[in-house]
């Protein structure tokens, strides 16, 4: 693969993961990335050869809706347009295939949800609104984690009464740094506050080596910490109760 193609693939993977985290922030939304979608239920033999990999299949329990999410940072998303046109042409078969392969109930809605650069939103919106029910087009920039305080999935055009906040914890409660010593777990928040708990509060960290304690990463948009070597998770909310 050429270097520019490699860079493009990495960039696409980054934005796809950003959108995936954006969707995961709603605890009623469950996602399946790179979902293989066949068209083998088509009555036309030639069309049975069609297939796609959906960037993210998002199943929202409260909305009772399956969202076929596509992500692109191309300002002129020609490939995305072709995909949407094919989906719309075969939409009945697409829905039946998802019911069969993903076990989606027949009474659920299925809608495309496309994430594109802000400049491409007007033109792409015209395409997704041709679906029944109408699809959604959202600016990719809106999914960046520092762009919002309380993340809300806004479906005012569809079900205004079902607008669900993703998180009740403000961004100033996000974690900035973590230190684990032989005596305590020390967490510094983005707003400057420091939280601590005795090391005995986490038996897994108490038994961990120094290197294992240093190997941590943030989860849940900075509201939690995960130590993969010892499979330990600690949230800001739990620390606030202890501190």
Query: What pTM did the predictor assign?
Result: 0.60
Separation CA 199–CA 178 (nearest Å): 13
Separation CA 114–CA 206 (nearest Å): 45
pLDDT digits (tens, 9 = 90+) for 1-43: 333 333 344 444 668 888 888 888 787 899 999 999 888 888 8
- CATH code: domain 3-165 is 3.40.1350
Q: Which fold has domain 171-242?
A: NE0471 N-terminal domain-like (3.30.2020)
Q: Is the per-residue pLDDT at 195 higher than 70?
A: yes
Tokens of 182: 């032989």
**Of 106-115, 133-142, 163-172, where does the model show the most confidence?**
106-115
Residues 6+ positions from 59 with CB-CB distance below 8 Å: 29, 30, 31, 32, 65, 66, 67, 102, 104
Separation CA 141–CA 147 (nearest Å): 8
Would you say how long the chain is, in residues?
243
Domain boundaries, the chain: 3-165, 171-242
């Amino acid at each position: 693969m050429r270097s520019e193609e490699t860079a493009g693939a990495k960039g696409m993977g980054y934005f796809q993961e950003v959108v995936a985290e954006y969707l995961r922030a709603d605890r009623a939304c469950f996602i399946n990335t790179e979902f293989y979608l066949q068209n083998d239920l088509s009555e036309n033999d030639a069309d049975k050869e069609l297939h796609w990999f959906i960037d993210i299949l998002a199943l929202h329990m409260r909305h009772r809706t399956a969202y076929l999410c596509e992500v692109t940072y191309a300002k002129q998303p020609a490939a995305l347009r072709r995909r949407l046109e094919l989906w719309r042409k075969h939409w009945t078969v697409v829905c039946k295939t998802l019911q069969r392969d993903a076990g989606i109930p027949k009474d659920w809605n299925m809608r495309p949800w496309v994430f594109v650069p802000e400049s491409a939103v007007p033109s792409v919106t015209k395409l997704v609104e041709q679906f029944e029910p109408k699809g959604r087009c959202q600016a990719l920039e809106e999914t960046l984690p520092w762009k919002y305080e309380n993340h809300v999935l806004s479906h005012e055009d569809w079900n205004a009464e079902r607008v669900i906040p993703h998180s009740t914890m403000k961004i100033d409660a996000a974690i900035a740094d973590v230190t684990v010593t032989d005596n305590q777990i020390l967490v510094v928040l983005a707003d400057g506050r420091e939280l601590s708990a005795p090391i005995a509060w986490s038996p897994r960290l108490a038994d961990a080596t120094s290197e294992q304690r240093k190997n941590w990463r943030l989860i849940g948009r900075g509201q939690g910490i995960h130590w993969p070597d010892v499979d330990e998770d600690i949230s800001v909310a739990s620390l606030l109760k202890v501190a």
